[in-house]
Each structure stands twice: as C-alpha cells, then as structure tokens.
C-alpha cells in the first residue's frame, strides 16, 4: 500500500507540468514524452521512466489526457496521448502555480 503513491507532491507536480506542456505541443507516445523532456531541457531533466507511465495513467484517470493506439511510421503499435480540454485548463493552472513558486523562491534567494 505504500508503494510510492504517497511521495506525490513536488516531484509529481513537476512531472505533471512537464508532461502536460510536452503534450500541448502535440500528441505523443510515452517514449516521445520522455525523450522530448530530456531533449528540450538539454538532458538536464531526466524523467524516471518507471514513474512516467503511472503518471500518465493517473492523468488519464483525471481526464487531463486521453490515449489511443495508433500505428507508427515503422509499423509499430504505439499508445499516443493527447491533451484534453480539461488538460489544457490544468496546464494553465499548473503553469501559473509554477511561475508563482519560482518567482517566490527567486525573491527569497535574491534577498537572503
């Protein structure tokens, strides 16, 4: 019962934000999400892949993203996620929260 679900807060919140942001650029499969996060951040952020899929499922349950199976160019079946209307709202929300957090943290760092 204690398997990781409890360690949600910051880490997971951040992961959600990143996933939502990547998906806002266009539908993507799980591997694509992971490699885009790594790619865009210049490998500074590396998603723990074991956590990525539970997070995707959770967001799916929450209705922020939806998934469907598609055939890729090299004829593989991939589960592709896209942002839903609720997901866009959530992204805006999280984005704003993140901005406020970094702003606040930045202010503290500047004055301390």
Partner 1 sequence: MTWLRRLYRTLFSRAASREFDEEVRFHIDTRTDDHVRSGMSVEEARREAVRRFGSVTLARERVRDVEALPGLAEFARDASFAVRTFRRNPGFTLAALATLTLGIGATVAIFSAVYGVLLRPLPFPAAERLIRVWEEHPGGAAAAGNRWITNRTFYAWASTARTIDMLGAYGAGESVLRVGDEDVRMSSAQVSPGLLLALGARPRLGRLLNSGDVVSGASRVMLLSENRWREHFHGDPRAIGRVVLVNGRPTTVVGVVADRFSFPTADTQVWTPYIVQEVTTDPARGDQTSGVTALARIAAGATIAQVESEGTAIARSVPVTMATRALFGVGGPPILHARSLTSDLTATVQPALLVLAASVALLLLISCVNVANLLLSRCLAREREFAVRAAIGAGRARLVRQSLTESVMLSGAGCVGGIILAIVLLRVAALLAPPRFPRLFDIEIDAYVLAFAAFVSVVTAILVGLVPALRIAHVATAVSLRGGDGTTIAGSGVREGRLRGALLVAESAFAVILLIGAGLLVRSFIRLMDVDTGYSADRVLTARVTLPPGSTPEHADQLVATALSRLRAMDGVTAAGAGNLMPMFPIVAVSSFPNPAPSPGAPEIARAVTYSVTTGYAEALGLRLRAGRFFDERDGPGGIRPMIVNEEFARQYLPGGTVVGRRFLNLFRRTDNGIVTEVVGVVANVLRDRSDQRPAAEIYFPARAQPQRWAAGINVVMRTEREPRFLVQTVRRTLHEIEPTATIELVQPLTDPLWTSVAQPRFAMAVVVAVAASSLLLALIGLYGVLAYAVSQRRREFGVRAALGASRSTLLRLIVRDGLITTGAGAVLGLVGAAGVTRLMSATLFGVTPLDGVAFAAAPLILLATATIACVLPALRAARVGPAEALRSS
The partner residues of 71 in beta bridges, in order of sequence, read: 77
**Rounded least distance, CB 95 to partner 1, Å:** 23
Binding site for partner 1 (CB under 8 A): 3-5, 29-31, 34-35, 48-51, 53-54, 57-58, 60-63, 74, 76-79
DSSP letters of 60-83?
HHHTSEEEEEEE-TTS-EEEEEEE
Nearer to partner 1, 5 or 89 (CB): 5
> How many angstroms separate the CA atoms of 72 and 28, rounded?
11
Nearer to partner 1, 73 or 108 (CB): 73
**Rounded least distance, CB 104 to partner 1, Å:** 31
Q: Shortest CA distance to 53 belongs to which of 67, 70, 39?
A: 67
Q: What is the DSSP letter of 28?
A: E
Nearer to partner 1, 77 or 89 (CB): 77
Nearer to partner 1, 25 or 53 (CB): 53
**Rounded least distance, CB 52 to partner 1, Å:** 8
**Rounded least distance, CB 47 to partner 1, Å:** 10
Q: Shortest CA distance to 65 belongs to which of 84, 78, 49?
A: 84
């Amino acid at each position: 019962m204690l398997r990781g679900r409890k360690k949600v807060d910051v880490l997971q919140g951040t992961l959600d934000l990143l996933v939502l942001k990547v998906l806002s650029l266009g539908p993507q499969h799980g591997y694509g999400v992971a490699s885009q996060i790594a790619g865009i951040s210049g490998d500074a952020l590396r998603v723990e892949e074991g956590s990525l899929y539970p997070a995707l499922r959770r967001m799916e349950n929450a209705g922020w993203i939806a998934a469907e199976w598609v055939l890729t160019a090299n004829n593989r079946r991939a589960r592709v996620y896209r942002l839903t209307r609720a997901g866009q709202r959530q992204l805006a929300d999280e984005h704003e929260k993140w901005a406020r957090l970094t702003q606040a943290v930045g202010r503290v760092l500047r004055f301390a």
